[in-house]
Amino acid sequence: MKDNILEIQNLKVIFPTEMGIVRAVEGISLEIGRGKCVALVGESGCGKSVTSLAAMKLLNPDAAAVCVDKLELDGQDITQLSDKEMQELRGKKISMIFQDALSALNPVMTVGKQLDEIFIRHMKMTKKEAREHSVEALRMVGVPDPERRYKAFPHELSGGMRQRVLIAMAFACSPDLIIADEPTTALDVTIQAQVLGVLSDMQKQSGTGLLLITHDLSVVVHMADEINVMYCGKIVEKGTTREVFLDPLHPYTKGLIGSVAKMEDEKGKFVQIPDSLPSPLYKPSGCYFHPRCPYEKEICRQKMPPIQILENGRQVRCWMCRKEEDGYES
């Protein structure tokens, strides 16, 4: 049994458009250990969701070109699997929790029947067995009166309840890996905390690996074992959650944490990242972050910094952090 449930090496995703080539993901690598929670964070539009869809092999090959050196799920190379073979894996070995539950759920089927389908298809259960497991799955994620909610349609449930249903569906077959793509974005702060608590408890109880995708670092601080910070399709920093929060290295990471923690500078102003993410069609030269970086130097405008691997295993892509004695990856 391999230690890593998911391994991605040098993933690249491009979208040919009438306006030009969009390089959504530029050579990122990720590893998720068995039972671990790894967070992929960054602003909306930086390539996080595209990465998750590529890992699930859900991108339309007519619209996107995907190139990857290694894509393994529990040691199995899934790059050459057919659509039919992937359909067997999805739900059983790998599941996904989408950010918009109302769109993800079938509006003309009760939530119970949608859960039943998972148990019948992947676990080969009878309808009666599936119903019993579906009700129990709803109970496990904290849905009140699960027997009654089993018969409800998605529009009859609150946003928080719908998100709990998606979590129940994702954990139904005890998959090895779950990808949660902005699972609480559409919810208010109080409901967010409740849903994240359910997700965290379920993940720890089941020992399932979790890739948590979010733009909000406050979401990951109590859940993730490791944080990968993504900017304009590239990983710019990687480290344990404690390391990244206590000692952020990349200026972008510092800005993200500052905006969450409400850190103040010497003038008493909130720390903010200026401007916005550049268009994926017109990325700047050199380091993609340099137009927004307070530490910008001439080399930042000219060359993309390589990933620097520090002695403790942390990684950072920034000229400001570069030391000649440390190792590099291009």
Q: Would you state the pLDDT for residue 3?
A: 86
- As a dihedral over the C-alpha atoms of residue 238, residue 239, residue 245, residue 247, rounded to 10 degrees, the angle is -90
pTM of the model: 0.91
Degrees, nearest 5: CA angle 177-34-185: 45
Nearest to 65 by CA among 28, 31, 29, 24: 24
pLDDT-flagged residues of the chain (< 70): 1, 261-271, 323-330
Spatial distance between the Cα atoms of 221 and 4, rounded to a whole number of angstroms: 22
Residue with tokens 């894996």: 89
Q: Cβ(56)–Cβ(97) under 8 Å?
A: no
Q: Would you state the pLDDT for residue 265?
A: 47
Beta-strand pair 226-231/234-240: antiparallel
Q: Enumerate the CATH 3.40.50.300 domain ranges in the chain, comma separated.
A: 4-231
CATH number of 4-231: 3.40.50.300
Q: Cβ(216)–Cβ(260) under 8 Å?
A: yes
Q: Would you state the pLDDT for residue 28?
A: 96
Q: Cβ(114)–Cβ(105) under 8 Å?
A: yes
Radius of gyration of the chain (CA): 21
